[in-house]
Structure 1
Amino acid sequence: MNGKVAGAALVSHHPGLMQCEEFRVLQGAGADSDLIAGYARLRQKIADASPQVVVIFDSHWFTTGYHLVDGGERYSGTYISDEMPWYLHGVPYDYRGHPDLATLIEAVSRERGGYNRVIAHPDLGKQYATINLVKQLRLEQAGLPVVTVSSCQNCDWQHFLASGAAIGEAIRRSGLRAVLLASGALSHKFNPIDWKPNHPRIFHETNVSRPENIASDKQAIERFCQGRHDEVLAHWDEDYRRKPWEAFGAHYLQMVGAMGGADCSARGEPLSAYENARGTGNIHIWFDTEPHLRTRGAAGTSEFGFSTQQVGA
């Protein structure tokens, strides 16, 4: 039982950043977005953490009845999005799974009366919330095995925390060093199809759908920077659940559940600017889990301009 969460991140999987070449040329290959540069910063964080496995909480893999855990040996194919096939197609992928960890996650969950279950069907489709991270973070080239976890749509937020807690315990029992990636946005309200940008830079934060969503997202980011996951969870029902976050926050909730839930005090480090994507709020944030427990309340400012003053204490 010497395994550990060696690092974690909330990561945007913004589909505009993995377009086919025709659209990448037309739209500037993501030059308008700091999330592209942020992937490089995140790659370095992952390399420094030296993981043996990466767990991706996929906010696009919707399931009903169970939190499914992808337990195959290997995944390969060519990805096409059923959501946006006109520009998101022809993406080859070939990466390893980790069946032993997936099986252990189910075993721990069953011990606890939980709902995590393994699926290892060879024809199981993939979502770009996983594939984009595999490609942008170069997990294939690194040879890192990937275990993807679904977002169960008939769950409340406490169920996601419990799912994550079982995953965290399975990691500890496995003896593996794991990096957790919560793949998804914060506020997730799309702009209408005929919407006109507020700012000429399409990814600029003022193009996020609503001013109140921007304010809420930035408040969450400040709490992350302070390691105040307890405050985020305390305000979940009246704020973040109502905006709502992508997949109702399943990706974040399972990640933080694996790190201790409300007891987690891992501080966040923004690795990109906060940006718009079709009206949704996106950012990359790394959580350094090695010093896990820290003194809360120290003020400061991150590289990307977010105050780290304690919020809501």
Structure 2
Amino acid sequence: MGKIVGAALVSHHPGLMQCEEFRRLQGAGEDSDLIAGYARLRQKIEAAQPDVVMIFDSHWFTTGYHLVDAGAHYSGTYLSDEMPWYLHGVPYDYRGLPALAVAIEDVSREMRGYHRAISHPDLGRQYPTINLVKQLRLEGAGLPVVTVSSCQNCEWPQFLDSGTVIGEAIRRSGLRVLLLASGALSHRFNGIDWKPMHPRIFHESNVSRPENIASDKQAIELFKQGRHDLILERWDEDYRRKPWEAFGAHYLQMLGALGGASCRARGEQLSDYENARGTGNVHIWFDTVEPTRKVQA
């Protein structure tokens, strides 16, 4: 029987891919603690000993289906069309795991879900996947990576349903799977002419709005308590309105795989809560996860 051996909400923001010298310049002499947080997360991953890493990519927007990347191998040089002046020339070379992607589609058909496995050789990469592959050194570890999209014509309960399908496919797979929800919490950008409130650009006071900071910190405390049910209860009136990156698809799909509202996995904060162009970013590790429950079709 397969199992989820760990899960994390992880920041991927492109500023972390800049050189350390420039990051320290933006940080008034200090580096982003999200960089040190990646090292802490690498230790967690090594201890969990997964067979495969699944990344819920908050930039891979799809329409009509939750797509699961079923490619066997990925290699190339990444160029961001969003920020090409510094996020360019990033080489990548890592494996996929087609059997898991196909298994998710099979379970989805059985459960009347909306998942498709896609293995087109020209399918592009997104930096929420590439940045984690590089920062977490998944290439060197030899771990295969399976990426899942954020379907943009979904209501938030349908992301939980997507995760339920994925969790059931993992349970049947015999694999040890690590889940990474790649994205921010509140995701409102500062204007192009914005002036920093704090000289250290990464500092939390530079997040776009005070109410977003308060909401993000409330969510972080609920993560620590394992009260995902309370986050879901407040979703419509709070977290959906801020909103979270990709309207929270990355977190909701991960949570669905962990059991949804019944999940009591407690979060461990592995980095400071930081700003990135107004968005709220943090690394949270969920170490104690409920066994994936069997769901009847």
TM-score (norm: length of structure 2): 0.95
Match of 1:81?
Answer: 80
Q: Secondary structure at the match of 1:89?
A: coil
Deviation >6 Å, runs of 4+:
none
Match of 1:258?
Answer: 257
Match of 2:44?
Answer: 45
Q: Secondary structure at the match of 2:71?
A: coil
Contact kept? 1:8, 1:289, Cα under 8 Å: no
Match of 1:299?
Answer: none
Match of 1:155?
Answer: 154
Contact kept? 1:197, 1:207, Cα under 8 Å: yes
Contact kept? 1:266, 1:292, Cα under 8 Å: no
Gaps of 5+ in 2: 293-297
Distance, in Å, in 2 between the alignment partners of 1:75 and 1:289 is 31
Select which of 23, 26, 33 maps to 2:22. 26
Quote how far apart the aligned CAs of 1:291 are: 6.4
Match of 1:308?
Answer: none
Gaps of 5+ in 1: 294-313
Give runs of aligned pairs for residues 98-113 of structure 1, distance below 5 A. 98-113=97-112
Contact kept? 1:264, 1:292, Cα under 8 Å: no
Contact kept? 2:258, 2:289, Cα under 8 Å: no
Q: Secondary structure at the match of 2:39?
A: helix
Contact kept? 2:3, 2:291, Cα under 8 Å: no
Q: Secondary structure at the match of 1:84?
A: coil
Quote how far apart the aligned CAs of 1:288 are: 1.1
Match of 2:295?
Answer: none
Distance, in Å, in 1 between the alignment partners of 2:288 and 2:2 is 13
Contact kept? 2:55, 2:179, Cα under 8 Å: yes
Match of 1:60?
Answer: 59
Give runs of aligned pairs for residues 63-142 of structure 1, distance below 5 A. 63-142=62-141
The amino acid that maps onto 2:24 is: G
Residues 78-117 of structure 1, C-alpha deviations (whole Å, 9 max, x = no match): 0000000011100000000000000000111111111111
Distance, in Å, in 2 between the alignment partners of 1:178 and 1:27 is 32
Contact kept? 2:16, 2:23, Cα under 8 Å: no
Match of 1:169?
Answer: 168
Quote how far apart the aligned CAs of 1:14 are: 1.2
Identical pairs, percent: 79
Q: Secondary structure at the match of 1:199?
A: coil
The amino acid that maps onto 2:35 is: I
Contact kept? 2:264, 2:290, Cα under 8 Å: no
Quote how far apart the aligned CAs of 1:28 are: 2.9
Quote how far apart the aligned CAs of 1:50 are: 0.5
Coordinate RMSD, CA, aligned: 1.3
Contact kept? 1:5, 1:177, Cα under 8 Å: yes
Give runs of aligned pairs for residues 171-250 of structure 1, distance below 5 A. 171-250=170-249
Q: Aligned pairs, how many?
A: 289
Contact kept? 1:32, 1:202, Cα under 8 Å: no
Residues 217-263 of structure 1, C-alpha deviations (whole Å, 9 max, x = no match): 00000000000000001110110000000000000000000000001
Distance, in Å, in 2 between the alignment partners of 1:142 and 1:250 is 27
Q: Secondary structure at the match of 1:130?
A: helix
Distance, in Å, in 2 between the alignment partners of 1:236 and 1:113 is 25
TM-score (norm: length of structure 1): 0.90
Contact kept? 1:233, 1:262, Cα under 8 Å: yes
CA change 1:125–1:261 in 2 (3 A) is: same
Distance, in Å, in 2 between the alignment partners of 1:86 and 1:263 is 44
Contact kept? 2:11, 2:283, Cα under 8 Å: yes
Match of 1:300?
Answer: none
Distance, in Å, in 2 between the alignment partners of 1:32 and 1:130 is 22
Distance, in Å, in 2 between the alignment partners of 1:180 and 1:148 is 10
CA change 1:151–1:291 in 2 (3 A) is: closer
Match of 1:306?
Answer: none
Match of 1:281?
Answer: 280
Distance, in Å, in 1 between the alignment partners of 2:118 and 2:161 is 19
Distance, in Å, in 2 between the alignment partners of 1:57 and 1:26 is 28
